[in-house]
Structure 1
């Protein structure tokens, strides 16, 4: 073994030292280089920041305090070149209570104009995700020679994003020729007629998501679409109304197809298509019919098949038996299948996790001792019977059970309720269980049990329960539920729906233990008494409906503590007192109709900037309409949103790893649904008076206005034409006078019109709109004439020779007619007097006739008062 000489040691030491110094210098140099990203990229990002609205400071890190733009939120750079390659700026999932802070649906998201094409100037940018924000418009690009390196583009669920030139898809396909992923779901592409032609030029496209885009045509006659690389195609919830297009079945590389929730009809092709790589096929909620073709059982890569909610017919046993052993999801529920289904049909499906099965004519014939080879996570059963499948109790991994229209008994019920305690979600709809559930303890996070004829008291729940819907049953007592003492203190319940039951008695003053409640609906019951003072403990409450009960008294002042309350419905009770002026200004629905409220309409209502529905009808209100209604800013926009109510409810399907419907993720089983409603003001059937304030005609987003059965006077101003969005207008049974303004003939959306029982005069304005209504819209105005009334206006009468009658001619004719008319009335009066005294004489001098007559009058009075609603 050789040894180092003394002279070599210093040399080795110097080499080692120089290496260390060199590496340290390189590290320092590299670190100094990492302090700054590319200056051009930084300036483009700053330009983007200044162009958008950022209410919650999502881009707050984009500043001089952080010198390296590669460290900014959502920005990703190449490790070597330090050029910006990716932008991840999706808006976080909307939480239910966050929506309430502003009328804006996404108060914490980026908004304003999206200058997307300026971002394309980031020459190394390949990934852009701006999904679920609230951008309003998109700036178009005028440079036709421009090209981008974008591979991934996601603008999904920017619901209000509008492209004024309707060429968004054309520009994207032209500028992003290398695009591999495109998601524009939730964006209105109604006018993009040639969307398919625009996108087929993207030869590198692997995934295309255009869900909820209001697309109209799917090109049903096109045989081939040039999607040579496409693997994922998602076009759910559009407006397709045609047969399935042939080009769809010629996508040789496609692995995922979703055309659910459209209006597609016709049959699936009977010959085997070229879908050799297909793993997922979703066609649920369409109008497809005919038998299921045999080739579905020959797709050996198939993992998910969803044909639920269509009109497929025939037996399904053969199809089930031949399905791929890789199948994880199978949805066949709500069709028109016939025959039987048994354990023999599931022999190969050992990997099944989600099963949806059942049709009205399909018979369940499972062996009572059968134990499946699969363990389900979700099970949806429709019309199970004649026996309830006992194999369900072997599913120890089941998280969600959904049973509707059961023809089978759930006996023994004790075993069934015990089994449900393992579930995260339990849904029972329209099952004739006919059981007293007073002693049942519900222990699932999500529980919806509607239309099952449950009786007894509302059952108790564990702290685990978050959503409870027991609507449309026969439950009678809510006190044991509300006043229960939980082992772990207060509950976590957020949704309580027990409407349309037989609840009676008073609402107990036990609400202080339910401070987590967001939604309460106890409408259409027999509840009496006052709203308990403890309602003020529900400081998170968003939605409260107590309509159609027998509640009374004033609205408690403690409700003022519910600062998040946005939807209040107390109609059809016997509440009294004044309309509260302390209601939170951010209220969206304010329904107090059909009660006994009195006094004036409080001027504070003008501060309800988010109001979408105002219903104060059928009360005892007096005074005039406040002249500040123009402050109801949510009704001023001609594009005022109809999405006035969002309610948590159960989802049935998932895709792309996210909960499906409207928002990406809310919880595992819950989403926010929109409930559409007309934007309206209803002040009918009160004692209101005065004229209509001009400010009312500034509410151009209003869709329904009802001021009938009051004492309003004056004329309808020409400004009523500003309410161009009106679909329903009722001014009947008032003291209005003057002529109907000609401007009303241009209100093209008007479907309901009632001007009856007033003092209008003159000719009904000509035009197809006002003449399209029947004479019932105008009766009770004796000085009104012209179509559709039979009364001809004097200026429209013609002389015998066909000439148009002048005003002077009309006067002479009226004199002649008046003389004839006078003689006619005189003869009619003499005849009536003779008959009257003849009948009266018999009544006065014949006791039997007299008694019968007055009994008849009593009965007739009851009929008129209680059964006949007068027109005027």
Structure 2
């Protein structure tokens, strides 16, 4: 290197050092106004996880968590503070995401005073309300349009706003959205804004809005004077999971080719609307699923030439599928399932060469579906076809031009479509309500091993499952008449649902098999089969189990101690078998149980008392349990179903039942018991049921009711007074016992009562008149007791005679026995006697009057006759002759 090069290098190095030092001396810090606005916003928040711990004045606000500033001006441009919640594989049904660590409190609109803010994401937090003014720290004020100039000033730079899934956020008015005229993305999904009847007017004036997401906002019809929405830039519109009950929302898409009447003063201008309008021409995604829309698909939908996604599923749309949809050449997703469409599958759909998802199942479509309908779909990845009137007629040699990942077929009557076996990428297969032979079966089950999800429901698959190995994560084979022994499974299986088939033999085939790796089985349901033998003692290998349902089989023997190793177990249903012996104490380790159903067996011993606080349903009826009802039952605050009927229980009813919270206050987070299993790309909801004898019928209830059934035992004593405190109780059955005493007038407190049976006991006294105020009561049985007195009158007590027979002292309707006091009253009442005497006098007067009329009529008649004869010569001669 020569001297000149060295000098040049040193000069450049010196310049760079000088430039860096100058830039360091000119470093721009966070704008003080922006910092104060953020600090004011923080004052109204509850921050349990200290997410905003870096938000203090001594640190440059551009370095605060979630804050991003402009590189040159250092003004705040973005605020990114969404809350992340864990989504475990198994979530109890009805449980909301745990947001105890998320930001809460008031969302202050003063945050929008940040003049250069263009991005704001506070989604999935736990904000409770919107704070419209700067007064106070966490108080939410009533909205007033007078506040808008103060809040926003000239701020119009916000382009992205996401407040979605703040489920408890109270939004009564959306007018504060209107000044944000630069918005391009708005997401308020999961926030109830239905109280604002002109919500659409607030968002339709946003000229640059490209995406609008209002999913699950309980929206109904719009303000009646708003004729249409002028979304000239909108590309994505998602209004799923709302309450729209009108016909297809033409109020939202004013693209009709009809006549528009415009009244301008005294002039009437009649103009033909153009077939296409600039409004909505840029729309790419339209989702209106899970509403209550009715009517037909309008033809103008075919004018949305840029549309890529159309989802109208789970509505009440009818008529034929519009052929105009064939004009949507850009469409990749078409979902029309679960409506009331009829007619055939339009040939025009074959023009949708870019289609990747086609779902039209669960409609009333008719006609033939063959390879001709699917030839043009080279990019198809998901196909759903299922209607009773569709006939599948595919060539057995046809090779599809696509490789599907999802297939759902229903009502397949002919041969199983052979082209399905050629889908090497298939992961999800659903076939229902079909009579196809699934032949050859060995080929089908081998093909099924590549699937992650297989659902076969209500089919006629006649085959022996003994040699079948199932490998899918979800195996849902319900009501298919599957026979033979139970199949084997691999460790990949998470859900195994074989309910309502014809499987026989021992369950040890599946439970005692040697597996190469640890089992992941969570859900095991083989109820309503012909399984026999004992429960086996191999449960130690299945610790991941959460739900077991082996009810309605022919299982016998004892409940094995090894079931106590199932510490994750939530639902155990072994009812309607032939099990015997005592309930093992080892089950105490299953402290997470929600449902314990061993009814209709031959179990004996004392009632178990080790249940944990999570128990919701106890069905121990129709066994041989003896002893007394343990007082520990009163500590089960979540209990809704208590069925100890048809046993050999003795003693009295515990006087502490008022401690069962759900029966007192009639509140529960959910009455549905089950869980949600999350998988990559999909989730599955598993809900368990329990059989309850109520209103004379034993039915399976998915939504649990508050029920106490202690019937058919040897209980004695009085009904404890705290029973009348169970204001949430819906069914009470104490029949066929030796209970005594009177029924308190406080029974009127049981406002939710729908059914009560106290028959065949030793109750006495009068039936409380207050029972006529139990407005939900549908079933009442007080027969065969010692009740006495008059049956109270009232619409709710107007049951049949069978409700009261066997009580010799009862009288009054609907019984035929007249109460003595009524009969005596009828006989001795002076007013009635005087009234009867007056009636007798009137009758006598009227008798003489009518008798006089009769005599007068007779005398007059004969007088006329005699005169006619004797004074008329012709009559006289005729008479004499």
Question: Would you say same fold, with TM above 0.5?
Answer: yes
1:259-283 per-position Cα deviation (integer Å, ceiling 9, x unaligned): 3344444333356665344322223
| Match runs of 1:320-469 below 5 Å | 320-322=349-351, 324-469=352-497
- Identify which of 69, 76, 95 aligns with 1:78: 69
- Alpha-carbon separation, structure 2, partners of 1:137 and 1:553: 61
Moved more, 567-576 or 124-133: 124-133
- Alpha-carbon separation, structure 2, partners of 1:677 and 1:410: 38
Which residue in the other structure is 2:336 paired with?
A: 307
**CA contact under 8 A between 1:69 and 1:75: conserved in structure 2?**
no
| Match runs of 1:459-498 below 5 Å | 459-477=487-505, 478-488=507-517, 490-498=518-526
Which residue in the other structure is 1:834 paired with?
A: none
Does the C-alpha gap of structure 1 residues 230 and 271 become closer, same or farther in structure 2, counting only changes over 3 Å? Answer: closer
The answer for unaligned runs of 5 or more in structure 1 is: 650-664, 810-872
Which residue in the other structure is 1:286 paired with?
A: 315
- Alpha-carbon separation, structure 2, partners of 1:605 and 1:272: 61
Moved more, 513-522 or 286-295: 286-295
Give the greater-gyration-radius structure (CA): 2
- Alpha-carbon separation, structure 1, partners of 2:501 and 2:33: 66
3-state SS of 2:251 partner: helix
- Identify which of 538, 542, 551 aligns with 1:510: 538
Which residue in the other structure is 1:652 paired with?
A: none
- Cα deviation for residue 471 of structure 1 reads 0.9
Which residue in the other structure is 1:815 paired with?
A: none
Does the C-alpha gap of structure 1 residues 776 and 212 become closer, same or farther in structure 2, counting only changes over 3 Å? Answer: farther
**CA contact under 8 A between 2:299 and 2:322: conserved in structure 1?**
yes
Which residue in the other structure is 1:731 paired with?
A: 758
Which residue in the other structure is 2:854 paired with?
A: none
Which residue in the other structure is 1:168 paired with?
A: 172
- Identify which of 231, 244, 247 aligns with 1:243: 247
Does the C-alpha gap of structure 1 residues 272 and 435 become closer, same or farther in structure 2, counting only changes over 3 Å? Answer: same
1:53-78 per-position Cα deviation (integer Å, ceiling 9, x unaligned): x5xxx446648999869799974443
Does the C-alpha gap of structure 1 residues 5 and 545 become closer, same or farther in structure 2, counting only changes over 3 Å? Answer: closer
- Cα deviation for residue 759 of structure 1 reads 3.8
1:187-245 per-position Cα deviation (integer Å, ceiling 9, x unaligned): 66777766656665666655454555555557999863455554444444455555333
- Alpha-carbon separation, structure 1, partners of 2:511 and 2:291: 43
**CA contact under 8 A between 2:289 and 2:315: conserved in structure 1?**
yes
- Identify which of 703, 710, 713 aligns with 2:737: 710
Does the C-alpha gap of structure 1 residues 707 and 152 become closer, same or farther in structure 2, counting only changes over 3 Å? Answer: farther
| Match runs of 1:76-225 below 5 Å | 76-78=67-69, 81=74, 83=76, 85-90=78-83, 92-95=85-88, 99=92, 105-106=95-96, 108-110=98-100, 115-118=105-108, 121=111, 123-124=113-114, 127-131=120-124, 141-144=141-144, 145-146=147-148, 147=151, 151-156=160-165, 158=167, 161=168, 168-170=172-174, 206-212=210-216, 217=221, 224-225=228-229
- Alpha-carbon separation, structure 2, partners of 1:620 and 1:69: 76
Moved more, 287-296 or 193-202: 193-202
**CA contact under 8 A between 1:109 and 1:134: conserved in structure 2?**
no
Which residue in the other structure is 2:46 paired with?
A: 49
- Identify which of 306, 327, 347 aligns with 1:318: 347
**CA contact under 8 A between 2:102 and 2:126: conserved in structure 1?**
no
Moved more, 731-740 or 450-459: 731-740
3-state SS of 1:381 partner: strand
Number of aligned residue pairs: give it. Answer: 774
- Identify which of 679, 682, 705 aligns with 2:709: 682
- Cα deviation for residue 413 of structure 1 reads 1.6
Does the C-alpha gap of structure 1 residues 730 and 156 become closer, same or farther in structure 2, counting only changes over 3 Å? Answer: farther
- Cα deviation for residue 586 of structure 1 reads 2.2
**CA contact under 8 A between 1:70 and 1:82: conserved in structure 2?**
no
**CA contact under 8 A between 1:216 and 1:239: conserved in structure 2?**
yes
**CA contact under 8 A between 2:143 and 2:173: conserved in structure 1?**
no
- Alpha-carbon separation, structure 1, partners of 2:830 and 2:681: 75
- Cα deviation for residue 358 of structure 1 reads 3.0
Moved more, 728-737 or 586-595: 728-737
Moved more, 567-576 or 615-624: 615-624
Moved more, 270-279 or 587-596: 270-279
| Match runs of 1:243-262 below 5 Å | 243-250=247-254, 252=280, 253-262=282-291
Does the C-alpha gap of structure 1 residues 379 and 756 become closer, same or farther in structure 2, counting only changes over 3 Å? Answer: same
- Alpha-carbon separation, structure 1, partners of 2:420 and 2:814: 65
- Cα deviation for residue 427 of structure 1 reads 1.0
- Alpha-carbon separation, structure 1, partners of 2:567 and 2:338: 40
Does the C-alpha gap of structure 1 residues 295 and 10 become closer, same or farther in structure 2, counting only changes over 3 Å? Answer: closer
Does the C-alpha gap of structure 1 residues 676 and 799 become closer, same or farther in structure 2, counting only changes over 3 Å? Answer: closer
**CA contact under 8 A between 1:114 and 1:137: conserved in structure 2?**
no
**CA contact under 8 A between 1:70 and 1:84: conserved in structure 2?**
no
Moved more, 574-583 or 203-212: 203-212
- Alpha-carbon separation, structure 2, partners of 1:760 and 1:805: 32
- Identify which of 251, 256, 268 aligns with 2:297: 268
The reply on whether 1:628 has 2:656 as its aligned counterpart is yes
Moved more, 727-736 or 614-623: 727-736
1:47-103 per-position Cα deviation (integer Å, ceiling 9, x unaligned): 4116xxx5xxx4466489998697999744435647594353445144365659xxx
Does the C-alpha gap of structure 1 residues 367 and 471 become closer, same or farther in structure 2, counting only changes over 3 Å? Answer: same
3-state SS of 1:38 partner: helix
- Cα deviation for residue 617 of structure 1 reads 2.2
- Cα deviation for residue 459 of structure 1 reads 0.8
The answer for unaligned runs of 5 or more in structure 2 is: 132-138, 153-157, 255-278, 688-701, 836-881
Which residue in the other structure is 2:609 paired with?
A: 581
- Cα deviation for residue 710 of structure 1 reads 2.8
| Match runs of 1:567-606 below 5 Å | 567-606=595-634
- Cα deviation for residue 385 of structure 1 reads 3.7
**CA contact under 8 A between 2:383 and 2:406: conserved in structure 1?**
yes
- Cα deviation for residue 766 of structure 1 reads 4.9
3-state SS of 1:509 partner: coil
| Match runs of 1:768-783 below 5 Å | 768=795, 770-771=796-797, 773-783=799-809
1:424-458 per-position Cα deviation (integer Å, ceiling 9, x unaligned): 11111122111001111111111111111111221
The reply on whether 1:671 has 2:700 as its aligned counterpart is no
- Cα deviation for residue 592 of structure 1 reads 1.5
Does the C-alpha gap of structure 1 residues 265 and 122 become closer, same or farther in structure 2, counting only changes over 3 Å? Answer: closer
**CA contact under 8 A between 2:429 and 2:451: conserved in structure 1?**
yes
**CA contact under 8 A between 1:327 and 1:351: conserved in structure 2?**
yes
**CA contact under 8 A between 1:266 and 1:288: conserved in structure 2?**
yes
- Alpha-carbon separation, structure 1, partners of 2:178 and 2:91: 38
Does the C-alpha gap of structure 1 residues 200 and 737 become closer, same or farther in structure 2, counting only changes over 3 Å? Answer: farther
- Alpha-carbon separation, structure 1, partners of 2:60 and 2:649: 62
Which residue in the other structure is 1:859 paired with?
A: none
- Cα deviation for residue 775 of structure 1 reads 4.7
**CA contact under 8 A between 1:798 and 1:805: conserved in structure 2?**
no
- Cα deviation for residue 319 of structure 1 reads 3.7
- Cα deviation for residue 406 of structure 1 reads 2.3
Does the C-alpha gap of structure 1 residues 691 and 429 become closer, same or farther in structure 2, counting only changes over 3 Å? Answer: same
- Alpha-carbon separation, structure 1, partners of 2:142 and 2:645: 54
- Alpha-carbon separation, structure 1, partners of 2:535 and 2:646: 25
**CA contact under 8 A between 2:729 and 2:753: conserved in structure 1?**
yes
- Cα deviation for residue 382 of structure 1 reads 0.7
- Cα deviation for residue 121 of structure 1 reads 4.4
- Alpha-carbon separation, structure 1, partners of 2:208 and 2:442: 58
- Cα deviation for residue 400 of structure 1 reads 0.4
